[in-house]
Structures are given as structure tokens and as C-alpha cells.
Amino acid sequence: MNQPRPPAAPRVAVVTGAGSGIGRAVARLMLAAGYRVSLAGRREAQLLETAGDHPDALVVPCDVTESDDVERLFDVVRERWGRVDVLFNNAGVFGPAGDVGEIGRDEWEATLRVNVTGSMLCAAEAVRTMKAQVPQGGRIINNGSISAHSPRPRSVAYTVTKHAMTGLTKSIELDGREFGITCGQIDIGNTRTEIMDTIGVGSGALQADGSRRVEPMFPVEDAARAVLMMADMPASASIGSLVVTAAGMPFVGRG
């Protein structure tokens, strides 16, 4: 007589930038969906607020630009749960406002350190973990931006980093094939987060013609649902690129 199979262990996810915005919404939704989730970010108090008292939440303060911090993050996750099934590479900053002739080198490099180098360091640790674990494999989801397709005015540093994220995504997807590692990118436009206040989307965002326009936004929880959909795909399938925008935002036809 066949014995019933034991229930599968909950999947393990690492979410960076989990203290606010999209990262917070994704971490909470994944916890509600039954994932074990490590919440990473620089501000411990905000991470604890995201986690609440959920028993499957693991708060790990981490600066993604510091390789020692990132190594410690994944060490803690492996020690607690033994593996990593999903990395949501989300930590990022908008960076300086200005054209290429107006921003300074320090501001430029600080933006690249968080958005590109930080994402690379986290992906590298995830890939090493996913190659070594049994069963092998996993999924990385990189948070890009509409700016990976078309920039806003005076956003050169941010725009360059998000184009770089696309190259990182495609390279990970290619190199991870033989190890069962998939990588996709979600490009989100105008979900309601703190960064939208920074660039004035709700009060009047700068347009290519120099005017300012109030742009539509959509709830961050709906963006999180899209990330969860990507994470929940079976190992036999991968969403390589997904664009999710507020209905009616000036993306198609931008400029």
C-alpha cells in the first residue's frame, strides 16, 4: 500500500529592501502565501514593522552594498532554513535628479553601488546557494523599472542602473540554466510608494516637454501580487520580463 507523501516544506524567500514600499508589500504577501521569508534592509525597526509577529519572518539587517553583510544575510538564512528558493532583488534608490552634466561623481557612484553592485552581490550569493542546495535550483526576480525601457527627464543615474539590471537579469538567466536557476525582471510603473512622492508623480511629475503632469498610480499590493505570480511559477516555466503599470500612465508614448 502506498504511503502518503509528507507535505512539502514551505519555500524560502529572501526579500531585500523589505522595510518599505514594494519590498514590504511583497514580503507580507509572501508570508501570507505560506513562504518563509527573510526580510533584509538597512533599517531594523522598519523590517520588524514589516514582519510583525509572523513566525515565518526572519529579520536580517543588511546593507546590500557591503559584501560581508550580504554573505552574512545568506549564511543566516541557510542556517535557519537550509536553502533559498526565491530572491526578490528589490533594494534600490532613485539617486540624484539632473542630466549627465549636472550630477556629481559621488552621487552617480552611490546610485550604482546600491542599484547595480548591491543587486549583483545578492544575486551572486543566491546563485551560489541555489547551485549547492539539494534539490538544486531556484528563482531570482530583479526589480527593474519602467525606466529600464524609457527614462524620465533628469534621471540619468537611475535610468542607467535599471538598464544595467536588464543585463544582469539576462546573464543570470543564461548562466543559471544548467543549474535549474531562472531569473526574471519586473518593471513597475507608478505603484504608490514613497519614491513616487520623491519624483512628484501625485502632484506633478516632470515630462519630456518640460511640463508637469499628475500621473495615475496603483496600489502597491497589486504590484506585490505580480511579483508573487512570478515567484509561484513552476520550475518548468519562467517569466523573463513583466511590465506592470498604472492604467493610463504616460509610458506608451512617453516623450
Mean pLDDT of the chain: 93
User: pTM to 2 decimals?
Assistant: 0.93
Torsion (CA) 215, 217, 89, 162 in degrees, nearest 10? -10
Phi first, then psi, for residue 59 (nearest 5°) are -90, 125
Q: Nearest to residue 27, comparing CAs of 220, 218, 243? A: 220
pLDDT of residue 1 exceeding 60, the answer is no
**129 neighbors 173 (Cβ within 8 angstroms):** no
Per-residue pLDDT at 5: 47
Per-residue pLDDT at 255: 52
Kindly indicate the confidence band of residue 254, based on its pLDDT and cuts at 50, 70 and 90. Answer: low
pLDDT of residue 157 exceeding 80, the answer is yes
Q: Averaged over 34-42, what is the pLDDT?
A: 98
Q: Which residue has the higher pLDDT, 51 or 1?
A: 51
Kindly indicate the confidence band of residue 214, based on its pLDDT and cuts at 50, 70 and 90. Answer: confident
Q: Which residues are catalytic?
A: 158
pLDDT of residue 218 exceeding 70, the answer is yes
Write out the three cell numbers for 198.
Answer: 520623491
d(CA 255, CA 250): 9
